[in-house]
Amino acid sequence: MELFSEQSAIAFEMEELDTSAREIHERAKIRARKYLIAEAELLEAIMEVDHRRIFENFHYTHLTPYCVKELGLSEEVAACFVRVARKGSEVPELKEAVIDGRISVTKAKTIASVITPANQNDWIEKAATLSKHALESKIAEVNPKAGKPEKAKPVGQQKVRVEFELTVEEMELFRRAQELLGTGTLAETQVELLKSFLDRKDPVRKADRAKERKSPERSREHSVIPAVIKHAVYQRDRGKCQAKLPGGSVCGNKKWIHLHHIQPKSRGGPDTSENLITLCSAHHRQWHRGST
């Protein structure tokens, strides 16, 4: 017995809007179109900034902090635009799809991990017609490694929920570490692994430990700068780039840091903590370009 058919379906019709409601509806549509246009125009502008590396004129080492600090975007939104801008340079059709309104920047970011010049038409069509959830499922079919994006979300009481994916082989490494550490949970294992890694690799922690010792650690013969001097500089600068930006703030980058001689060694500059400063690689290169 047929319980339901197209003929027996309950049909709904759009209710007639009064004048005020129609005006609100039309205003919402106009502003939505303006939003999409502005989004596309912003993407074009960010791509131009990236292409000409204008962010370096503001003494930023890369594009994202420029978008956050100079354009006022949130870190999440900035990361989205930067990802699409970079992929749009590689696959121009992706940029055009955003500019002509076929897909949003968010959809463009979603397909950035799989789109190439060879398959661009197919993925842009999927992005234009599928929901975000359905689009992510299609991506997972062809690129399982893409998976869902990593997340770090505050959950209250000074806690953060972290979500990321591992391969089966990577999870085996995690479980083995858990066995060796004897910790009870994955979270506890992760914290112990991070502590162990930082104890071995973080120059600030090394400097702190060296200061606590009664006898300073002897520098190795092959080291250009004595270890005790390195420790003193890392401890003083806390492993952060000390380059001063035009607005008066300090770069503060903790990645790819170098020790820089304020008075060059070629001009008699000594290996002393007073003559050394911590710079990130980008600002180190900028300094040497400006001094030549």
pLDDT tens profile 119-139: 999 999 999 999 988 998 899
Per-residue pLDDT, 17: 83
Average pLDDT over residues 234-241: 94
Q: Which residues of 94-116 are buried (b: 16+ CB within 10 A; e: fewer)?
A: bbebbbeebbbbebbbbbbebbe
For range 258-263, the mean pLDDT = 93
- The per-residue pLDDT for 98 is 95
- Phi and psi (nearest 5°) for 248? 105, -10
- pLDDT tens-digit readout, 188-206: 999 999 999 999 999 999 8
Vertex 31 angle, CA 27 and 35, to 5°: 170
pLDDT digits over 59-79, tens only?
999 999 999 999 999 988 999
State the chain's mean pLDDT as an integer. 87
Read off the pLDDT band of 146 (50, 70, 90).
Answer: low
Give the global pTM: 0.64
Of 10, 61, 9, 67, residue with least CA distance to 43: 67
What residue type is 100 in one-letter code?
A: D
**In residues, how long is the chain?**
292
Q: Which residues contact 163 (CB under 8 A, 6 or more apart)?
A: 148, 150, 151, 152, 153
Query: Which two tokens mark 207?
Result: 């400097």
HSE, side-chain direction, 13 A CA sphere, residue 186? 10
151 forms bridges with which residues in the sheet?
163
Is 124 within 8 Å of 94 (Cβ atoms)? yes
Q: Where are the domains of the chain?
A: 20-142, 160-200, 204-291
Mean per-residue pLDDT, 254-259: 88
Number of H helices, E strands in the chain: 12, 4
Rg of the chain over CA atoms, in angstroms? 27
